[in-house]
Amino acid sequence: MAINLLKTAPKVQSSITSKPSASLFFTTRRSFSVPLYSPLALAVSSMSYEKELAAAKKAASLAARLCQKVQKALLQSDVQSKSDRSPVTVADYGSQALVSFVLERELPSVPFSMVAEEDSGDLRKESGQETLHRITELVNETLSSEGSYSASTLTAEDVLRAIDNGKSEGGPTGRHWVLDPIDGTKGFLRGDQYATALALLDDGKVVLGVLACPNLPLEPIGSSNQHSPLGDVGCLFFSTVGAGTYMQSLAGSTLTKVSVSTTENSEEASFFESYEAAHSLHDLTSSIAQKLGVKAPPVRIDSQAKYGALSRGDGAIYLRFPHKGYREKIWDHAAGCIVVREAGGVVTDAAGNALDFSRGRYLDLHEGIIVTNQRLMPSLLKAVQEALQQRTSSTL
């Protein structure tokens, strides 16, 4: 049965061939040198999280399929994103329900805990019943299309429970999945970049990450091919601790091991920044770019797709400096962090401290987040700290 994704529905009864938020993402020439890992580390990491990685890839890929269906219907409709956010609401909840269901089904013997963005509160209200009905239909249609879950028909109550699996607070002990069902919702509504970002914490450390980026080209992104209308799009990036980062198409093509750029010269770089100026201290990132000698104009991109693109060498630096008072959530960075780190990159706060995902649903940071390679980190940190000091002095 076809599903109308953009209009109200009846009320429910209770039941690859392989080939950027507040941000600055410098791009430069790609490099495919592969970081070195010992055979022992590779074997241990693969053995420890093999089942979890397979489940995470399956969950994120199915969630991306659901989101693609909703976005396609949205872009083909007359709905204006500024006045109607219901399509992204359907996709957001549906994505979270799918990921939760798949992880529990694929890993039945493991105590399940998930830290995620959504809960079912609004859907349980009378006003949310029509939306819940649409979500339930869409989740079931996506599961049926996958094949192995064709016998599983979820009720509305099943979907609500799956969504509410994301209420965990995480923390320093045990295993916790970390999910952003649609990272980059405004990009999703515009038909631009977004990602389903899924990571696994083990005793407070990110040990696994998957980024499904349905609109990210398989070729390197830049000012001329960010959307790549004529090329192949849809990337899946994934990493486990000690085993590197891989990319393939969402269609399931051959794996490619990727690595970050090895450039040492920031003057050769251009930079990406968040599409939404409201998410970014653009004056600060512009000051940092000037200190580094960057000459090229910025290219704008949404979501953790930036982490994926950086991991394969499209860019060299990504900076995120939210407006005052904003607290970073762990689901906005956990998957992207390990994807870049396992590709040979470095992810720290503005003081050079490693990100700590063991403190619950939020990150405690000094100012912002810096992502780059080992060679550029010293000069980048220097430029960042000088720019922050100047900004503080100017406000006194």
- Binding-site residues for Mg(2+), in ranges, read 117, 180, 182-183, 332
Taking the C-alpha atoms of residue 386 and residue 122, their distance in angstroms, rounded to an integer, is 45
Q: Which residues are annotated as a binding site?
A: 117, 180, 182-183, 332
> Residue written as tokens 């430069």?
28
What amino acid is encoded at 14 in this protein? S
Quote the distance between the C-alpha of residue 63 and its chain's center: 12
300 touches 25 (CB < 8 A) = no
Q: Where is 206: in which H helix or E strand?
A: strand 205-217
Query: Ramachandran region of residue 352, left (φ > 0), alpha (ψ -120 to 50) or beta?
Result: left
Residue with tokens 């004056």: 283
Q: What's the one-letter identity of residue 246?
A: Y
- Spell out the residues 6+ positions from residue 378 whose beta carbon is closer than 8 angstroms to its own: none
Of the CA atoms within 13 Å of residue 311, those in its CB half-sphere come to 32
- What is the DSSP code string of 85-114? -HHHHHHHHHHHHHHHHHHHHH-TTS---E
Burial of 207: CB neighbours in 10 Å, binned 0-12, 13-18, 19+: buried
- 92: annotated active-site residue: yes
User: Rounded to whole angstroms, how far apart are CA atoms 9 and 5?
Assistant: 9
Active site includes 185?
A: yes
The residue from 131, 136, 185, 240 that is catalytic is 185
Among positive and negative, which fits the CA dihedral 320, 325, 327, 332?
negative
Contact 7, 265 (CB under 8 A): no
Q: Catalytic residue, from 27, 28, 92, 349: name it.
A: 92
Enumerate the active-site residues. Answer: 92, 185
